[in-house]
Amino acid sequence: MRAAIVALLAVIVTMGVPVRAQEEAAAPREEARPESKTTVRGTIPDDLTGRWIAMGWMHLPNDRVRNVPYFSEITKDSGQLALRVRFVWFPDPQNEAMKTANREGKEWHPSAEEIAAAATAWDKLPLWRGAGPSQVQTEILGADAFDDELKNDPRMKDAKWVIRTHFVFPPSKVGAATAQQVNVYGVTATEDSGFTGNFKTFVLAAAPFMTPLNFEGTFRLYRLDTPRSGFGARLRDFFSGCGRR
C-alpha cells in the first residue's frame, strides 16, 4: 500500500507543482521569478556560467522511473555566481516524448538534437501552468565544504561538488501539490558537454495530507550554450585533481 501511495504522490509532485499542470501547454503569462538566493562554498569548476538542463531519473517502486527536468541559468556578477531556476518546459515535441516515457515508467534521455532544440527555444520555452514557489534557495558546494548531511549521505559523500536547491511554496498556492521540496545533484563525473551523478529529492507533499517523501535516482547535467575557450580543458583538470586547492 505504501508503495502505491509513494508512486501516486511521485506522479502528483514533480519539482513542486502538479505534473499535469507542468505537462500541459502553458497559457500566456509572465515567467515566475520567485525570491532567489545562491550560496557558493568550497572548490567548484572554474566556469559554471551558462544555461543548463539537469535531467533527473527518479526511481519509483516496481522498477518504474519518473523523468524530472530542471532548467537553470547561472550568471556571475562581481565574481559571485547566481543560479536562477527557470520554470519552463521542453518544446512540445520533446515534451510529448518525455510524457510518453513517464506514462511507461521508462527513462527518457534527450538526444543532442533535442537538447539543441531546447537551446534554440530557450527564450520561448513553454511556461509552467501551476503555481510556482515563493522562494528558491540554492547552494553550490565543493566537496571540501560539505556539511554533515552530505558527508553522511551514501549517495552524495563521494561527489566532487553538489547543487542543492530548496523550493518553498506559499500555503495559499500549495493546493494538492507541494509545501517544500529540496533537490540535490551530486556530480561524480564529467561528460563532453556537462556532468553526471546521483540525484535525490525530498518532498513535503501537501496532498492528501502533509507527507514527507524521499526519492533517489541519477541525473545528467546538459550544457545548452557554447562554453568559452578552455572550458573542457579546465573540467578535465578539475576532475583529475589539478583544480583542487
pLDDT digits (tens, 9 = 90+) for 94-150: 999 999 999 999 999 999 999 999 999 999 999 987 667 889 999 999 999 999 999
Q: Which residues contact 123 (CB under 8 A, 6 or more apart)?
A: none
Confirm if 182 and 202 have CB atoms less than 8 A apart: yes
Looking at residue 129, its pLDDT comes to: 74
Q: Does 19 reside within a domain?
A: yes
Q: What percent of the chain has pLDDT over 70?
A: 73
Instruction: Sort strands 35-41 and 17-18 into parallel, antiparallel or unpaired.
Output: unpaired
Report the alpha-carbon distance of residue 162 to residue 141 in Å, rounded.
5
Confidence of residue 245 (pLDDT cuts 50, 70, 90): very low
Per 3-state DSSP, the chain is made up of helix, strand and coil in percentages (nearest 5) of: 25, 40, 35
Report the alpha-carbon distance of residue 151 to residue 243 in Å, rounded.
21
Q: What percent of the chain has pLDDT over 90?
A: 59
Report the alpha-carbon distance of residue 74 to residue 71 in Å, rounded.
10
Q: What b/e string do you get for 53-92 counting C-beta neighbours within 10 Å, with b at 16 or more?
A: bbbbbbebeeeebbbbbbbbbbeeeeeebbbebbbbbbbe
If one compares 126 and 16, the residue with the highest pLDDT of the two is 126
Q: Does 72 reside within a domain?
A: yes
Q: Does 244 reside within a domain?
A: no
Q: 92-104 and 112-120 helices cross at what angle (nearest 10)?
A: 130
State whether residue 137 is helix, strand or coil. Answer: strand
Q: Does 123 reside within a domain?
A: yes
Confirm if 52 and 72 have CB atoms less than 8 A apart: yes
Out of 80-84, 123-127, 141-145, 172-176, which region has the weakest mean confidence (pLDDT)?
172-176
Looking at residue 100, its pLDDT comes to: 97
The residue with cell 502533509 is 210
The residue with cell 566532487 is 160
The number of helices, as runs of H, and strands, as runs of E, in the chain is 7, 11
Instruction: Sort strands 178-191 and 80-86 into parallel, antiparallel or unpaired.
Output: unpaired
Q: Does 197 reside within a domain?
A: yes
Confirm if 180 and 170 have CB atoms less than 8 A apart: no
Confidence of residue 2 (pLDDT cuts 50, 70, 90): very low
Question: What is the tally of structural domains in the chain?
Answer: 1
Give residue 24's domain range. 2-239
Asked whether residue 55 carries a pLDDT value surpassing 60, the answer given is yes
Q: Does 245 reside within a domain?
A: no
Q: Does 222 reside within a domain?
A: yes
Confidence of residue 176 (pLDDT cuts 50, 70, 90): very low
Report the alpha-carbon distance of residue 100 to residue 79 in Å, rounded.
42
Q: Does 130 reside within a domain?
A: yes
